[in-house]
Structures are given as structure tokens and as C-alpha cells.
């Protein structure tokens, strides 16, 4: 058993490339990827205004919609994830079982299927606007993943914190909300940042519901001009620049937390 415990674990996420703090070279992978994509996106409209400049002027409202879906979904999924995580740790068997079933079922169904189900299948019962359906599906899906992040974060808080709070006369519920949860939020900030990046990329799936996000606007331009290569090149570059920029923010956040001894 001792040998098994020593087997290294490999962690792989679907987030963007997180800059390695140890790699200081100006030619680091992140620098080459980010500034290379940014340079290409600047050069293309200058070298060939028609069609690249036209595409860049056509898609900005799609970027706004992409961030709208992403930000609202991540906020709501944090709320759902908090209660799912608490439910997974609940001593009440029914609550624990419901939360666990929710997490396991949702994580076992692809996000694309959930988008179709909420908008088209449930549309026979209640017809929701496309944007609302997209946000609900994203929230429902990522809430399950956030639930696992919250569960792990709560369990990582030293048990002595709960014991100290109980010794001061707090109830278990008071201790969780006033002592454990605030510390949990600091612990889970880096993984939540990674999920935000992953959610931003997955938000491109909402285009199948005719939500005018970045990908949808690119498809609209391509379908009218038949310039598919040019349109999707610009869309890909914009996604890459945004995700790499956010990954840099996440890396800086992790660095600051480590300096303060919080992760």
C-alpha cells in the first residue's frame, strides 16, 4: 500500500496554457503564443483590410455576448456549486445523496447535449429565450464541477478551524458560513479561474442555439461572404488572445496567493 501511495498523480485540465512562473525567457511558450496571435491579428487587417478589417468590425458585439454568457454563467454556477459542495459534505443522507446524484449525472452528460435538452426538449414544456437557455445550461453543467471544487476546498481547510469555532460556542452552521467558507473561497480561487477560462471556451457551443456570440458572428459573416478561412482565422485568434490573457491573470493570482501563504 505504501508503494501505491507514492505513485505520482497527473493532473490535466482543459484550461488555457498557464504561464510557468519559473520560465522567465522572453521566448517562453506563453509569450510566443500570446504576442504571436496578437501580432497576426494586427497585421492581417493592415495587410488585407478586405476582408480581415471587415470581419474585425463585424464580430465585436459577439465578443460582448460571449462575455455576457460566460460571466453570468460563472456567477450562477458558483452559487449552485457552493450548495452542491455543501450538500456533498452534508451529514443529512438525503441531501448528500441528492447533491451526489446531481454532480455525477451532470458530469456524465456532454454540455452540448444539455444545451439541446434545455432549449429544445424542455421547450415543449416552457419556451425560454435562447440566451437564457444557454446561461441555464452552462450554469447547470459547470455548477456540478464547481461543486467538486467547493467540496475539495472545504475539506482542505484544517479541521482545527471547525473545532476552534465550535469551542467558541458557534453552531456547526455558523462555523461553516463565518469561518470555513471565507477560507474556502481563498483556496479555490485558482481552480475557479481555470474553470472560468474553460467556460469561456465552451461558451462557443451556445452558437448552436443561434445566440449571437463570437463564433456565431463569425459563422454569419462566413455564410454570407463564403470566406470561411478568413472568418474562422479571426475568430480563433480572438479566442486564443482572450484565453491566454485570462490565463496570465490566473497565474498572477496564484502567485499572489502563494506569496501570502494561502495556497
* 62-73: pLDDT as tens digits: 999 999 999 999
Q: What pLDDT, on the 0 to 100 scale, is given for residue 184?
A: 87
- At residue 259, the pLDDT reads 66
pLDDT at position 4: 44
Residue 140 sits at the vertex; the CA angle it makes with 152 and 134, to the nearest 5 degrees, is 140
pTM comes to: 0.83
Span 23-36, average pLDDT? 79
Domain boundaries of the chain, sorted by first residue: 61-259
Q: State residue 20's pLDDT score.
A: 57
61-259, superfamily in CATH? MetI-like (1.10.3720.10)
Give the pLDDT band of residue 125 (cuts 50, 70, 90): confident
As a whole number, mean pLDDT of residues 66-86 equals 94
Core vs surface per residue 79-115: b (16+ CB within 10 A) or e: ebbbbbbbbbebeeeeeeeebbebbeebeeeebeebb
Q: Per-residue pLDDT tens for 138-173?
A: 999 999 999 999 999 988 888 888 888 888 888 888
Amino acid at each position: 500500500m505504501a508503494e501505491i501511495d507514492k505513485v505520482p498523480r497527473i493532473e490535466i485540465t482543459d484550461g488555457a496554457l498557464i504561464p510557468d512562473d519559473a520560465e522567465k525567457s522572453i521566448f517562453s511558450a506563453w509569450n510566443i503564443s500570446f504576442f504571436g496571435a496578437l501580432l497576426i491579428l494586427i497585421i492581417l487587417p493592415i495587410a488585407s483590410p478586405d476582408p480581415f478589417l471587415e470581419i474585425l468590425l463585424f464580430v465585436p458585439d459577439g465578443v460582448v455576448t460571449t462575455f455576457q454568457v460566460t460571466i453570468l454563467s460563472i456567477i450562477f454556477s458558483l452559487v449552485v456549486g457552493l450548495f452542491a459542495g455543501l450538500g456533498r459534505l452534508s451529514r443529512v443522507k438525503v441531501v448528500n445523496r441528492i447533491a451526489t446524484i446531481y454532480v455525477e449525472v451532470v458530469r456524465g452528460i456532454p454540455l452540448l447535449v444539455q444545451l439541446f435538452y434545455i432549449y429544445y426538449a424542455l421547450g415543449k414544456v416552457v419556451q425560454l429565450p435562447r440566451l437564457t437557455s444557454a446561461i441555464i445550461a452552462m450554469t447547470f453543467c459547470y455548477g456540478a464541477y464547481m461543486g467538486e471544487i467547493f467540496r475539495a476546498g472545504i475539506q482542505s481547510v484544517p479541521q482545527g478551524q471547525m473545532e476552534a469555532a465550535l469551542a467558541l460556542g458557534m453552531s456547526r452552521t455558523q462555523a461553516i458560513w463565518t469561518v470555513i467558507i471565507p477560507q474556502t473561497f481563498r483556496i479555490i480561487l485558482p481552480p475557479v479561474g481555470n474553470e472560468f477560462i474553460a467556460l469561456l471556451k465552451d461558451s462557443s457551443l451556445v452558437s448552436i442555439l443561434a445566440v449571437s456570440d463570437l463564433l456565431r458572428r463569425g459563422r454569419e459573416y462566413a455564410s454570407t461572404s463564403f470566406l470561411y478561412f478568413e472568418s474562422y482565422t479571426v475568430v480563433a485568434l480572438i479566442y486564443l488572445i482572450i484565453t491566454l490573457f485570462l490565463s496570465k491573470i490566473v497565474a498572477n493570482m496564484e502567485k499572489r496567493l502563494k506569496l501570502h501563504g494561502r495556497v
